[in-house]
Amino acid sequence: MAFLDILHLEKSFGAQRVVKDFNLGIEKGEFISFLGPSGCGKTTVLRMVAGFETPTSGAICIDGRDVSGLAANRRNIGMVFQAYALFPNLTVEQNIGFGLRIKGEGKAAISARVGEMLELVGLPKLGERYPFQLSGGQQQRVALARALAIRPQVLLLDEPLSALDAKIRTSLREEIRRIQRELGITTIFVTHDQEEALSMSDRVVVMHQGIADQVGTPFEIYNRPATRFVAQFVGTLNLLDARLLDAAAGRVGLGDIPVALNRELPGRVGDRLSLALRPETVVLGRKDEGSVVLSGHIAEVHFLGSVIRIRVAVAGQIVSLDTFNQPDTPPPSIGTPVEVSISDRDLLVLAA
Amino acid sequence: MTTSVASLPAAFRPRQVLSWLGVAPFFLFATLFLILPTLNIVLGAFRNAEGQVTLDNLGKLLAPSIRSAFWISIELSLLTAVLGCLFGFLIAAAITLGGLPRPLRSAILTFSGVASNFAGVPLAFAFIATLGRLGLVTMLLRHWFGINLYGAGFNIVSFLGLALTYLYFQIPLMVLIITPALEGLRREWREAAESLGANGFQYWRLVALPVLWPSLLGTLALLFANAFGAVATAIALTGSSLSIAPIVLFAQIRGDVLNDPHLGYAIAFAMILLTAIANAIYILLRMRAERWVK
Amino acid sequence: MTERRLWSWLAVALGGLYFLLPLVGMFDFSMRMQRDGYSFEAYRVVLADPQFQQTFGYSVVLALLTIALGILIVVPTAYFVRLRFPGLRPIVEFLTLLPLVIPPIVIVFGYIRIYNTSSVLPLTGSWWGTNLLLLFGYATLSLPYMYRSVDTGLRTIDIGSLTEAAQSLGAGWARILAVVILPNVFVSVLSGAFLTFAIVIGEYVFAALLNVGSFGPYMVWMGGNRAYEPSALAVVAFAITWACMGLIQLFTRFSKFSTVRR
């Protein structure tokens, strides 16, 4: 049994089922991200854990205790919102001390804990300020400190970085992870930004239409996507239409070019399927033995700085690949005939 | 947008004169029909019939009859402002936070727009027809429940009756002003408070009410000024049997009690002073309230 | 949640009772002129009263003139302040809010003192002068509403570009205001106008103190001398207020579809 167990959780708003049979076990101290597009149900699951929404069915257990029937203010869960949600009438110190004040702790204890928290989030001098005098990044740090001050069992972060500028987003991302490790607090982080989810999490839950499509480490999610949705949503991807030629031998037809995958494939001859591959696994030119070689011509060249993204037309489809910029080699010109090599292991087969 | 016009070629410069001509009528109008009349009153309050500066006129305000008229006016305005705030707040809270159907909400807001402008003579008639000696509610209470309002000492032509009538435009005004403020209370504040262990009462005491406080106090001041300046309703309802400050002034002007026009000045000046203070409080607190809601 | 909804319904129901009873009472009373049952007799009597026709007609004309005067004063001011004199803005806003701060009875008292028969500008001395003074007074009362709605309307359109476009096509100021600006803020002007109408039509203090026989003093006179007719008048006045507010809502809603929002 995990520290935080979510069992057969369901939620319907009227006739609409927004969360369907959601199951997840989170270990103590783990950092989990819920990743998915807006409307996928990730925030609803989070809000059910927090106690702001009542599950239609299912259970949420923290430390072996079912909290589903508990009001939000009895759960001891820290929550950070997208729009900061600092109390505008209270100073930074009073905001952070709010939960302790509610618990009835003494002034000295509160002020000590508040100081500790301000130190933790790196804002030791701003305790006297009001929220409207702070930048967005500072406000979100205070919100984090406020949520952590009550020593919650679980920390919930609902898209906490979405409202911030790109630069602050990256630095705060690292800081949140540092603080989480330092305190060893069990954390759920909701985001629609795959980069955030991949870079911060111990495990990622990719959600789609109320269902958890895949649960795994960032490495697994990225390299071994379980469904077409996961493959498409996480990272950029080439998707090529293919036709199954020989299931047992693992041969497929890409247009009229036969490709050998050298592994057994499900399905019958003539089935349509999709081949997925990451741009960074495609190499321009002919590589060593055992790889698949396709010929085509350069269709587009995008110079992105350190990386050059090249699109090659192969058998009527487009294959994107990334090469690193090299100062002495200008990128190929459009129309040049080229060959691209792919390792057969990198070709993922997804049902069409 | 202004800079682009200002940087137009010099050919347009003579037009600057024309733009001044565009705003000139307004300033002329405001001077003639707003500033000068008010100034005349204010200065008159400090002068005697011979034009010498004096404080005698203001001293006459302390005469028992005038003083009690002001006192009743202040009591009436304060009472209807406080009750208007209270009931208006409850209704506004019910329609914003109470989970009532949306059409009802907009219907109530529209009605508030009408009712807050339905002051004056017709309002007085409506209350006479309802709570007067032969009014609907008076009769119904007597026939159905055997309650004799007038036997119990109630009279629509009284302080209480006037207060009841004033509330008819005070409450809707409060609803109109405080509803946006209540909508400004963000759901996340409540949720954040809850996740930190607060119950509903603690949330209201520590967060919601402090956030609303400037708006509430400010609106209280506005309602006070609103009631204080209302004359027509009072005259239509009570004639001149209830002596409140605006009615005393009305009688002064009407009856051309010109044996002492400067007392009129003094009464008018005191009225301006009170409503100006109330409005200044309103504006100050309003600015404070807007500082938080960004 | 359900408990909260219960309290909300209770608050709204009690409020509804308080706000609807006087309306019902007023309507009920206005129908009871004939002993043997409900009738529209009071309305018939009122509408047939030549005094009513005269005073009501007078107030309608006066309200329309007030609106026209208000537009003439407010629209160019709001326009030029936005376009040319943003520095004047606080002053103009303060002035337009003054009529809400100074009780009307004080303003009219000032009029009587300044424009009496022995003054430089003896407006109260003649019939025309008195009516003119009343008109100016009502325009003063309408300033806060007129200015606020027109200024809000101007905020939603880019008057700088509109003006430059019209100028480049050869239009003069008067034409720009009348043909370009006014139609674009028409809905805002209308809502200010209806509000003004609702306020002016039954106004009492100004008219009474300037001794003008308009609808307000007529109502008060009826109130002192008749029993059922005042209720009928109140119903009429209430209907007018409703109509004005309803039209404002209607036009604002209509404008959402007809004008381009930025």
Q: Is the ipTM of this complex over 0.95?
A: no
Does a structural domain hold residue B127? yes
Question: Count of CB atoms within 10 A of residue B262's CB?
Answer: 18
C70 pLDDT more than 70: yes
Which of the listed ranges B190-194, B215-219, C247-251 does the model predict with the highest average pLDDT?
B190-194
Entry field: residues in chain B:
294
Q: Which of A50, A81, A150 sits opposite B197 (nearest CB)?
A: A150
B2 pLDDT more than 60: no
Please give, rounded to a whole number of angstroms, the shortest distance from the CA of B211 to a CA of chain A: 6
Under a CB-based contact definition with an 8 Å cutoff, are residues A8 and A59 in contact?
A: yes
Q: Are residues B181 and B216 in the same domain?
A: yes
Q: Is B117 close to C198, i.e. CB distance below 8 A? A: yes
Q: Are strands A291-303 and A282-284 parallel, antiparallel or unpaired?
A: unpaired
Averaged pLDDT for residues B90-96:
91
Residues in chain B closer than 8 A to A98 (CB atoms) = 193, 196, 198, 206
Q: Are residues B25 and B155 in the same domain?
A: no
What CA–CA distance (Å, rounded) separates B197 from B40?
A: 60
Dump strand ranges (E) for A31-174. 31-35, 57-62, 65-66, 77-80, 154-158
Q: Which residue has the higher pLDDT, C173 or B93?
A: B93
Q: Are residues B223 and B99 in the same domain?
A: yes
Domain carrying residue B1: 1-45
Q: Are residues B68 and B184 in the same domain?
A: yes
What CA–CA distance (Å, rounded) separates A117 from A104?
A: 18
CATH number at residue B127: 1.10.3720.10
Q: Are residues B27 and B141 in the same domain?
A: no
Does a structural domain hold residue B202? yes
Question: Count of CB atoms within 10 A of residue A261's CB?
Answer: 19
H-run or E-run covering A5? strand A4-13
What CA–CA distance (Å, rounded) separates A174 from A182?
A: 12
Interface contacts A/B by beta carbons within 8 Å? 76
Q: Are residues B251 and B183 in the same domain?
A: yes
Residues in chain B closer than 8 A to C105 (CB atoms) = 229, 231, 246, 249-250, 253, 268, 271
A77 touches chain B (CB under 8 A): yes
Does a structural domain hold residue B294? no
Picking from A208, A193, A197, A194, the residue whose alpha carbon sits closest to that of residue A18 is A208
The first and second tokens of residue C120, run together, are: 């430089």
B9 pLDDT more than 70: no
Q: Are residues B254 and B177 in the same domain?
A: yes
pLDDT band at A189 (very low <50, low <70, confident <90, very high): very high
Residues in chain B closer than 8 A to A85 (CB atoms) = 186, 188-189, 191-192
CB contact set of B6 (below 8 Å; sequence gap of 6+): none
Q: Is C159 close to B1, i.e. CB distance below 8 A? A: yes
pLDDT, tens digit (0-9, with 9 covering 90-100), for C1-29? 577 888 889 989 999 999 999 999 998 88
Compute the mean pLDDT over every residue in chain A, rounded to the nearest whole number.
89
Q: Which of B186, B191, B202 sits opposite A102 (nearest CB)?
A: B202
The total of structural domains in chain B comes to: 2
C256 pLDDT more than 70: no
Strand, helix or coil for residue B224: helix
Q: Are residues B10 and B83 in the same domain?
A: no
Residues in chain A closer than 8 A to B211 (CB atoms) = 87-89
pLDDT for A289: 65
Q: Are residues B91 and B198 in the same domain?
A: yes
Does a structural domain hold residue B54? no
pLDDT, tens digit (0-9, with 9 covering 90-100), for C181-227? 888 888 888 888 988 998 898 899 999 988 888 999 999 988 888 88
pLDDT, tens digit (0-9, with 9 covering 90-100), for A69-126? 888 999 999 999 988 889 998 999 999 999 999 999 999 999 999 999 999 999 988 8
pLDDT, tens digit (0-9, with 9 covering 90-100), for C134-162? 999 999 999 998 998 888 888 888 888 88
pLDDT, tens digit (0-9, with 9 covering 90-100), for B129-164? 999 888 888 888 888 888 888 888 888 888 999 999
Averaged pLDDT for residues B96-110:
85
Q: Is B189 close to A85, i.e. CB distance below 8 A? A: yes
Q: Is C25 close to B1, i.e. CB distance below 8 A? A: no
pLDDT, tens digit (0-9, with 9 covering 90-100), for C23-50? 999 988 888 888 888 888 888 888 888 9
Interface contacts B/C by beta carbons within 8 Å? 276
The first and second tokens of residue C152, run together, are: 């809000």
CB contact set of C189 (below 8 Å; sequence gap of 6+): C71, C75, C146, C149, C150, C153, C182
Does a structural domain hold residue B58? no
The first and second tokens of residue A10, run together, are: 């369901």
pLDDT band at A305 (very low <50, low <70, confident <90, very high): confident
Q: Is B195 close to A83, i.e. CB distance below 8 A? A: no
Please tell me the CATH code under which domain C45-255 is placed.
1.10.3720.10
Dump strand ranges (E) for B245-284. none
Q: Are residues B9 and B133 in the same domain?
A: no
Q: Are residues B26 and B76 in the same domain?
A: no
The first and second tokens of residue B259, run together, are: 């044996």
Q: Are residues B80 and B40 in the same domain?
A: no
